[in-house]
Amino acid sequence: MCVRISSSFTRIHTIPSLSSTPSRLSKHTSTPYSTLLQTPELPHEPQYSSPINAEPLHRYTTGGYHPITLGSLLHQGRYKILHKLGWGGYSTVWAARDEQEGRYVAIKICVSKNYHGNRGHREMNVLKSLDDTQHVVRMLDHFDVEGPNGIHPCLILEMLGPSVSDLVERRFADGRLPGSFAKGVVRQALMGLDALHRREIAHGDFHIRNLAFTISSVANISEDEFINLLGKPDVGYVRYNDSGRLGHGIPEYIVRSAGLHARSWPLSDTIKLVDFGESFPRKDAPKTLHTPLVVRAPEVIFKDRLDYRVDLWSLGCMLFELFVGQPPFDSFLITPKILVEQMQEMAGEALPDRWVPLWESMRGANATEAGGPGLQEWLEEMYFDGERKEDLTRDDIVELGRIIRKLLRFEPGARASVEEILNEPWFEN
Q: Which long-range contacts (CB under 8 A, 24 or more apart) does 215-218 make?
A: 215/159, 215/160, 215/161, 215/265, 215/266, 215/267, 215/268, 216/266, 216/267, 216/268, 218/104, 218/159, 218/266
27 assigned to a ligand binding site: no
Q: How far apart are CA 279 and CA 282, in angstroms?
A: 10
Binding residue ranges for ATP: 108
